[in-house]
Amino acid sequence: MKNTRKDAKTLSTMIGLFLADLERQARPNTVSAYRSDLTLAAQHLTRPLDQISLNDIVTFLSVGDVSAATIARRAASLKRFFAWAVQQGLCTTNPLSSYRGQHHTRRLPRPIHSRRDLDALDAAVQQAPQPFRLIYTILRETGMRVGEVLALDVGDVVLARGREGLRIRATKKGNERIAFLGSDFTPRSLRGLRAWLKTLHEHPPYTPLFCSNRGTRLTYAAIHYQWEQLCQRAGLLEADGTLRYTIHQLRHTRGSELVQQGQGLEIVQRVLGHCDIRSTQGYAELDDGQVREALTAGAK
């Protein structure tokens, strides 16, 4: 028998709680996009969450004269919402867990190519105040997403020798994974985390790893403000005063570096947490230098 109780949890009644959680780890324009997509979806998906099927969602995705990119964005918003709903015990399964969507144009990553800019950025990161210095260092060395780092709790940090890593629960696709740490490939992150945890040794595992001065979990807005200050100090501004690079480009840069080191795409995929290997292939396509070198060597 279908759940027809008046207190049944629906998309409309749960949007507010979901967005409140999202605000702690995503930038304002991202939250705004989710609010827009989910508010529209709630007008069409009115049944209790545990009764909404994939067919219901697919029907909604194409409402109106929309592009493939809009359909993909709507699907991503709903997939993340339902992943959250499952974690909260509001429904048992994510109806979009097996959804692959329609083909749309894939954008290539945008790593930082300039060695001078990268050196200036790395130097500026080391001069940033804590906890932002450690946050940017983790982003730089692991390729994690900003939201993934902000969602870390004290208990998500594993520093046992040979098992060092960060347990990532707030992933883009809802699947948990481990960000590996090591003295050879993430030396500054590992040292910084060991020192940081010493200041939090009496805090319970569910305590946010990075808090504001008010004791609340750091928000994306705070991270972005400090990023602006960092880029200004490093001189990484365009002529019109806009930022030359975004925080997310640290992730793109790490992925590109791994490919340049000769790491296999499966390793890069695992590090970056890509569900689809096609996302990882974009990093290989970027490395024009390797293609040119191979062609030159073959012509000799």
Strand stretches in the chain, DSSP E: 157-158, 165-168, 177-180
Quote the pLDDT of residue 1. Answer: 36
The two three-digit tokens of residue 296, written as one number: 């030159």
Quote the pLDDT of residue 3. Answer: 43
Residue of higher predicted confidence among 293 and 118: 118
Question: pLDDT tens-digit profile of 158-202?
Answer: 999 989 999 998 666 667 889 999 999 999 999 999 999 999 888
CA 73/CA 171 separation, integer angstroms: 16
Quote the pLDDT of residue 78. Answer: 94
Q: Where are the domains of the chain?
A: 11-87, 115-288
Quote the pLDDT of residue 296. Answer: 64
Residue of higher predicted confidence among 140 and 59: 140
Quote the pLDDT of residue 280. Answer: 83
> In sequence order, which residues have a C-beta less than 8 Å from that of residue 268 and are 6 or more positions away?
255, 258, 259, 274, 280, 283
Quote the pLDDT of residue 170. Answer: 67
What's the topology of domain 115-288? hpI Integrase; Chain A (1.10.443)
Q: Which amino acid is at 70?
A: T
Per the listing, tokens 């509001």 go with 90
Quickly list H helices, 153-263: 187-198, 220-234, 249-260
- Percent of the chain whose predicted confidence (pLDDT) is above 70: 88
Question: pLDDT tens-digit profile of 239-292?
Answer: 888 889 989 899 999 999 998 888 888 899 899 988 878 778 887 766 555 555
The answer to whether residue 71 scores a pLDDT higher than 70 is yes
CA 15/CA 269 separation, integer angstroms: 31
Question: pLDDT tens-digit profile of 9-36?
Answer: 899 999 999 999 998 888 888 888 899 9
The answer to whether residue 93 scores a pLDDT higher than 60 is yes
131 prior amide bond cis, ω within 30: yes
Quote the pLDDT of residue 28. Answer: 83
The answer to whether residue 108 scores a pLDDT higher than 80 is no
> In sequence order, which residues have a C-beta less than 8 Å from that of residue 68 and are 6 or more positions away?
102, 103, 104, 105
State whether residue 18 is helix, strand or coil: helix
